[in-house]
Amino acid sequence: MNQQTSTAAKGKFDGNMFLYSQPELLTVEDHGHLGINTSTPPYDFVKSARVVPIAAAELASAQMSYPIVFSELMQPSLLAVVGVQDDVNLFIDENGEWDKSAYVPAYVRCHPFALAARPDDQFSVVIDRSAAVISENAEQPFFEDKKLSPPIQARVDFCSQFDAHRRASKAFCDKLVELNLLSGQQATFKQDDSGVGQSSGPYIAVDFDKFKELDAETLRQLHLDGTLSGIYAHRFSQENWFRLLERRNLRRSGD
């Protein structure tokens, strides 16, 4: 895919995008009077999410803050878990800000922009028209002289980088499917000395009993292509289930 931004694409955007309530192709004709207000709380749109997509390139950073799971067994993608049991993102405060101690996934930082592939091997820019940060007379107009303004072009370039990382992540996930390493799992933790347990709910993760059965040559190849480091980052992230449940309990005790 050539990384050339098209803002002249016509017509309605027909696809669905996770967390994008009203995706539209960005055009001068329809959106030339709009822009971004940087003073608006940026993360309100994701306050009810339990998971956020991530790329394999983010595993090392994301594993320090979130349990990392897979979307499904056969065509998996990577997800950072940000909430449990309730439709509440436990990393968003009452002001719509993300917890400053936690890594913010790139998918979230891209919003309200995204990219949509076109048949001519280029892409069009998509915006979430319903995003609170989009308005008239904005601090950062979408266009200047019918071209993307510099701050908006920088945001689109970031989306382009993330899009490339997400496409590269498919090879990582496909390798795990090929080796039959994924399985459905569920973690239960004791909440306190009373023995009362809390469940993380079902999720899909690497089955490390299967992983231990891999032969030395397969492990060597996984090391050489970078898959092995991603697997271990995923494994280390599982320690965050208990921290996530603690975060939920603290949030509920303060309500």
Percent of the chain with pLDDT over 70: 87
Identify the band that residue 187 occupies on the pLDDT scale cut at 50, 70 and 90: confident
Looking at the DSSP assignment, which residues form a beta bridge with residue 183?
205
Residue 239 has pLDDT above 50, yes or no: yes
pLDDT in tens, 98-113: 999 999 999 999 999 9
Gap between the Cα atoms of 55 and 158, Å rounded: 13
Q: In a 10 Å sphere around its CB, with 0-12 CB exposed, 13-18 middle and 19+ buried, how is residue 239 labelled?
A: exposed
Higher pLDDT, 40 or 5: 40
| Helix count and strand count (H, E) for the chain | 8, 14
Q: In a 10 Å sphere around its CB, with 0-12 CB exposed, 13-18 middle and 19+ buried, how is residue 246 labelled?
A: middle
Identify the band that residue 10 occupies on the pLDDT scale cut at 50, 70 and 90: very low
Q: Give residue 94's domain range.
A: 5-253
Domains: count for the chain: 1
Out of 25-29, 44-48, 197-201, pick the least confident.
197-201
Identify the band that residue 198 occupies on the pLDDT scale cut at 50, 70 and 90: low
> What's the pLDDT score for residue 1?
39
CB atoms within 10 A of CB 40: 15
DSSP state of 57: G
Residue with tokens 């904005």: 138
- Determine the distance from the C-alpha atom of residue 21 to the mean position of all C-alpha atoms in its chain, rounded to a whole number: 16
Gap between the Cα atoms of 186 and 190, Å rounded: 14
